[in-house]
Amino acid sequence: MEDVDKDYVKDVVFKMSRDSNFFKNEQRKNEENSKRNRSLKQQLDALGPSELAAAGKWADKHLALLEKQRDLSRTFIHVDMDMFYAAVEQMHRPELASVPFAIGGESMISTANYVARKYGVRSAMPGFIAKVLCAKPAPASGLPAAELVFVGTDFAKYVAVSEQVKKMLRVFDPFMQSGGIDEAYLDVTDYMCTHSKTSQQVAEDIRQHIREASFTMPGVAGGVSGLTCSCGVAANRRLAKICSDINKPDGHYILAPCREEILGFVSTLPIRKVGGIGKVSERTLREVFNVTSCNELARARAPISRLLHRGTAEFLMGVALGIGGSESHAEVERAGHARKSISCERTFRDMASPKDLEAKVRELASALAGDMRERKLQGKTLTLKLKPVTFDTFTRAVTLPSHSADEAALFASALQLLRNEYPLNIRLMGLRMSNLLQEGSSCIPLPP
C-alpha cells in the first residue's frame, strides 16, 4: 500500500533478520548480483562505436517489427481477486474484517488482509516480523498498536472458491486463461460485441457478479459472500495485468486502445511494475543501463541488445512499446498452444516431520490436479521442488507411465520422490507437471 512507511518497515525487517540464515543467504545472493552487474558494466564501458551501432541497428529493426505487429483490435481484462486467501477466510469469519490478520504462522505468512497491510505486513514475510510491525507501528503512521491474528492455511477452501469464481468468469470468455488460483485473463472482445457493451460496463459487471455471488466451501455451512476483485482493461494481457493493480481493491482501470495513450502510459511506468521484471532484473537495469522506467528501455536499446540474452532483449523491447499478448484466446485454443508446464508451491515455517511433509505434498498434489482439470491438461513429467532451511533449492523428477491429471497418481509419485530424500528440514515445497497434453489431443506444440 502506498501510504506505508517503507523505510520504517525496511529497518524493522533488517534488525530482526540480520542474524538469520535467510539474511545471510540474501547477502550472498546480493554480492553475486553485484559482481555480475560490475562485470556487465565493465563490458558496457568497453563497447566500441561499431559494436553499439550494430546492436542498435538490430534493436531498431526489432522495434519496427513489433510496431507492425501491434494489435489494438481486442479487449482484455485481467481479473485479480483482492487478498484472496484472507478474503475467503473473512467471508465466513466476519469478525476478522476489523483486525489485522495473516494467513500462515510465526515462520512465514502467505498473505494478509488490508488492515494488516497498513502496518507494512506483506506476503512472504516471516510472521514474527509481521507481529512486531503491528505491535509497534511506524510513529508517523498514526496507527494504534495491534495484535496480529494468524489464521492457518486451508487450501481446500481456496481451491473450491477459486473454481466457482473461474466458472463465473467463463461466461465472459469461454477460453479464459487462468493466471493462478486468484487471477485470470479474459478476452472480452466477442462478449462486448454480442452483448452490445463497453469495456467499462463489462468490467463493472464482472466486479458486481463476484461481489454479490454466494460461494460454498468445505467445512462451512451454507453459502457465504463478500469477495471483491480488481480489473485491468487494455489491448493486451501484459498491460491489462498492470492496470488491474492501479485501483485496488475493488476497482478497475481502463487503458484506451490507442497507440499514443499506451506509449504515454508506459513512458513513466516503473519497470518493476511489469510482470517478468523482478528485483534482480530491476537492479541490473538500473545499475548497468541506468534504466528505471519503461520508456528508458528504448533509449538503452543498443547496449541492452548487445549485452543481454537475445530473448531478454526482445522481451524488454516489447515492454518499451507496451506490446505483449494480444492474440485471441479462442485462436490460441484452436492453435493448440499451451504453457510448457503447470506448477504450484508453498512457503512455510521449518518443517521436518514426515507426517507434516506428507500432508503438504498431498495438499500440493490436490491443488495441482485441480488446476490441471480446470485447464483440461494432462502431464507426464512430475517434478518435486524442495528448499531446505539452508536455502539451497533442489528438484527431483519422475516420468509417469502415461499422461495423467489424476490426483491419486500425482500424490503417489510425489510421495515416493519425497520419501527418497528423508530426512528433510525444509521451508518450501512445490510440484510441477510438464510434458503436457491437452485432453482430446495427441500432442501440444510448445510455444515458440
Q: Could you read off the pLDDT of 381-413 as tens digits, one per residue?
A: 999 999 887 667 889 999 999 999 999 999 999
Residues 367-394: what's their mean pLDDT? 87
Band (pLDDT 50/70/90 cuts) for residue 447 is very low
Give the burial string for 290-307 (b: 16+ CB within 10 Å, else e). Answer: ebebbbbbbebbbbbbbb
Cβ-contact 342, 372 below 8 angstroms = yes
Q: pLDDT tens digits, residue range 124-153?
A: 888 999 999 999 999 999 999 999 999 998
Average pLDDT over residues 425-440: 86
Q: How confident is the model at residue 310 (pLDDT cuts 50, 70, 90)?
A: confident
Instruction: Give the active site residues.
Output: 183
> What pLDDT is recorded for position 437?
86
User: CA-CA distance, 132 to 254, in Å (whole number)?
Assistant: 38
What's the rounded mean pLDDT across residues 8-33? Answer: 87
Q: Which residue in this structure is represented by grid cell 470468455?
A: 173
pLDDT of residue 221: 86
332 has a pLDDT exceeding 90: no
Mean pLDDT of 142-171: 93
Check residue 3 and give its pLDDT. 78
| Cβ atoms of residues 327 and 73 within 8 Å | no
Kindly tell me if the per-residue pLDDT of 114 is higher than 60.
yes
Cα(231)–Cα(205) distance, rounded to whole angstroms?
11
18 vs 14, 35, 168, CA distance in Å? 6, 22, 46
Q: Is the pLDDT of residue 440 over 70?
A: no
Q: Which amino acid is at 172?
A: F
Q: Are 160 and 216 in contact (CB under 8 A)?
A: yes
pLDDT, greater one: 245 or 393: 245
Cell numbers found for residue 16? 530482526
Residue with the larger pLDDT of the pair 417 and 340 = 417
Which of 91 and 1 is assigned the larger pLDDT? 91
| CB contact at 8 A, 297 and 277 | no
| Residue with the larger pLDDT of the pair 112 and 440 | 112
pLDDT band for 236, please (50, 70, 90 cuts). Answer: very high
Mean pLDDT of 86-93: 95
Q: What percent of the chain has pLDDT over 70?
A: 95
Mean predicted confidence (pLDDT) in 170-190: 91
Q: Is the pLDDT of residue 334 over 60?
A: no
Average pLDDT, the chain: 90
Pairing of strands 76-81, 183-187: antiparallel
Using 50, 70 and 90 to split pLDDT, how confident is the model at 443?
A: very low
Residues 186-232: pLDDT tens digits? 999 999 999 999 999 999 999 999 999 999 999 898 899 999 999 99
Q: What is the mean pLDDT of residues 263-271?
A: 95
Overall residue count recorded for the chain in this entry: 448
pLDDT at 21 over 80: no
pLDDT score recorded for residue 330: 66
d(CA 374, CA 334): 17
Instruction: Please report, rounded to a whole number, the percentage of residues in the chain having pLDDT higher than 90.
Output: 69
Confidence of residue 347 (pLDDT cuts 50, 70, 90): confident
